[in-house]
């Protein structure tokens, strides 16, 4: 059985498609399967409403301070 998660209604920041307002990210078994404005949410998927949130699929938060200090 596939494990599906749909993150919906968020402002999605992508590298290749720019900003997608109120878009959907579909994740299947831990891997991103679809990103866009017209992504169908499959029956049985866990839905996470990201209204008012910014989502960055596949991106890592790069604002860190690892390695700045000598300690």
Average pLDDT over residues 7-15: 94
- Whether domain 4-55 has CATH 2.30.40.10: yes
Rounded Cα distance, 68 and 71, in Å: 9
pLDDT of residue 35: 96
Q: How many CA atoms lie within 13 A of 67 on its CB side?
A: 3
Average pLDDT over residues 29-34: 94
pTM over 0.75: yes
pLDDT of residue 1: 72
Question: Is 7 or 15 the better-scoring residue by pLDDT?
Answer: 7
pLDDT of residue 15: 83
Domain boundaries, the chain: 4-55
């Amino acid at each position: 059985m596939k494990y599906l998660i749909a993150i919906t209604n968020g402002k999605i920041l992508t590298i290749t498609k720019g900003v997608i307002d109120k878009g959907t990210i579909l994740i299947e078994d831990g891997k991103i399967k679809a990103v866009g404005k017209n992504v169908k949410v499959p029956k049985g998927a866990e839905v996470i409403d990201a209204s008012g949130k910014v989502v960055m699929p596949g991106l890592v938060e790069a604002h860190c301070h690892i390695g700045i200090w000598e300690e």
